[in-house]
Each structure stands twice: as C-alpha cells, then as structure tokens.
Structure 1
C-alpha cells in the first residue's frame, strides 16, 4: 500500500514537472524564437553603368531560411559621392519570395552610393553598395532636371556623409495638434545596430527661437523612441542628436507638418 502511495506521489510530481517544462517552452520557445533571428537584406546593384541607363535595384529580405514578404518598409536612397545631403529616396515594389525592387535613371557621370533601408518584423538593416556611372573621373553634381525617378522622395534622414554612423528617422504621418506623437529613430554603425547611445530630439517651430528637447528610450537594439505633443499647427524642425561614450556625435534634421 505504501509503495502504491509512493508511486502515486512520484507520478504526480513527474506530471507537474512536465507541465512546467511545457509552459516554459511556450513562454520562451517557438513563439519568440523568430524574434531572435536577425532580418537580413541582400542588396544587388550593378557595379558600373552608362550615363542615362535605367537600373533596377533588387533586395532579397530574409529571416533565417524564411523569405520575408511582410516588410513594413523597403526603400532605396541614392546619392552622388560628396552630395549626401541631396540624396533621393525611392519606394520599392514587392515582387515574390521576399524580393523588393525599384528603378532609377542615372543622368550624370560620377560615383554613386545606393543604400536600401529595410524595416521588417521590428528590426532594421541598411546595407549599401557603390555604382560607377559613365566617366567617373569627370564626376560632376547630380541635377533634378530630366531625372526619371518613379515614387521618388527627397530624403535628409541620415547623419554626416562620410560617417559610419547612420540615423534613420521614421517620419510620422498625420501629426495633430495637442496629440501625443511617437518619434522613432534607428541608429546603426558599420551596418550594425548602435546600442546604449544617448539619443535626443531637438524640436522647434519654423521661425521660432524656442527649442525643446525630448529624451528617448532604447526599445530594442538601435531603436530609440520618444514622445512629444505639438502645441500649434505649422512646420517644425526635428533634429536628432546621437552621442555615446566612444566619441560618436552625429545629428540629422527633418521637417514635420503639424495639422
């Protein structure tokens, strides 16, 4: 009888341990496993093209062995060497199997940088490539006239041109007066998320001398978030400042329209 009771107790304890193990797997297992696998972007651009050529940029986005077809944002930034502040942003079109493409027409000779900005599954990556156009030695500055850039946006989203630190400010849509607005920026260094940085937003209305500062919290590696309520309608400057203890000191500026 005692043996039977002892066997029963052991059996119950075994079942309890197994149940705890199952619950732990549910909490720490496959449901979160995908979040631990980084999203990668494989950028493909030609190394050399002729002036006037229309080029197709291609990026395959993956997470582990899975092709990512639900990226929240994939767009290409193009600029001539030495002219980062005049960069162009081009929206991509999604094809199949995680492939995102865009077309761009190079109308001037020179050395160009092409960088794809990928935001997918709450992660961000920004690989970059170089394209030599026509007579690279002559170089020259790119002009807007005559360019054929479908879905093009002008961009000023990043830091100093030759720096390895890149700042990608997620410009909010439909900003309303007196409504708390979430401000998000991604920061990378050498194509890797830059963590433990001091990131602040400096905000002021166009034409005003009053500047306000918003501190941020790092929600995930390289992603910094703050909130701000705009008191009046109009155009506002939002300057992102990034610093850390290793000597990084970068900034970039955007304009936000408040309605």
Structure 2
C-alpha cells in the first residue's frame, strides 16, 4: 500500500501545480501587436521625390508615440548598400520621409518600427520606371542585415 501512495503522490502534486495558472492574477495581459500599414505607392518614376509613408496602429488606436521609425531602402540584390532614412511623425499615426530613386529598378523599403516596446519591420517593393526583368534579383537577404544597420544608426 505504501508503494501506491509513494507513486501517486508525485502525480497529485504535478496535477495540482498545473491547475489555474493561466487564470492566476499577475499572469499579464496579452499585448496587442503594433500594425504597420504602408501608404507608399508601389510604382514610382526615376529621379522624382517619393514619400515613404506608413500608418501605425495598435488595436483601434493610432500610434502617435513611436520611439523610432526608420526606412531602410535598397535596390534588389544590393542590400549591403541600403540607405537608412529616419521618418518624422506627421499626424494620425502617419510617419513619413522623402527619397528619390536615380535609376529604374526594383527597390525594397523596410520600415524598422519601434513603438510601445515592440519592434516590427515589414517590407514593401517599389518598382521604379520599367526595369529590365533580367536586372531584378529576388530579395533573399537576411533581415538581420537591416538590424545591424539600425544599431549603427541608433548610436549616432
């Protein structure tokens, strides 16, 4: 009989530990994700000014207090030569910066966004002019390359 009690006791203790933990006070609330919606057109003309723009929201409210929004821009196949462009808060959760693309090609813009202790970095393609399809290199770059540039940018 002692053997059964000795074997059963650990199972009872494990079962007791597993109940009610998810409902216990102090478990923390679920943090809503900061959403980044691109406002920038996906087509542009060479040399003309392009407004890089995103709208930040969290749940039903716009994010007016982002810590940082920086656009990383590069031509397809050339992430190593990307440019970091800091954005300014305009209004209603909109953050913008301006740039231009000197030549036709497929470009990427990635919005490195830090807001409310969350970091998100969505990416959008921008086709400039009518590039030769053979000149387009699929983007297989690692997003950590952009994070390295963000660290360099933040230290200045």
> TM-score higher than 0.5 here?
yes
Q: Per-residue deviation at 1:61?
A: 0.8
Aligned to 1:173: 155
Please tell me the root mean square deviation across aligned C-alpha atoms, in Å.
Answer: 2.3
Aligned to 1:105: 100
Is the contact between residue 111 and residue 139 of structure 1 (CA under 8 Å) also seen in structure 2? no
Aligned to 1:56: 51
Aligned to 1:78: 73
Aligned to 1:122: 117
Q: Per-residue deviation at 1:138?
A: 7.7
Partner SS, residue 91 of structure 2? coil
Q: Per-residue deviation at 1:57?
A: 1.2
* d(CA) in 2 for partners of 1:64, 1:82: 35
Is the contact between residue 109 and residue 139 of structure 1 (CA under 8 Å) also seen in structure 2? no
Q: Per-residue deviation at 1:58?
A: 1.1
> With structure 2 as the length reference, what TM-score do the two structures score?
0.71
Query: Comparing both structures, which one devotes a greater share of its residues to strand?
Result: 1
Task: State yes or no: 1:162 paired with 2:144.
Answer: no
* d(CA) in 2 for partners of 1:173, 1:134: 35
Moved over 2 A (4+): 169-174
The one-character-per-residue Cα deviations of 1:164-197 (angstroms, maximum 9, x if unpaired) are: x4221434638xxxxxxxxxxxxxxxxxxxxxxx
**Where does structure 1 lack aligned partners over 5 or more consecutive residues?**
1-23, 141-160, 175-259
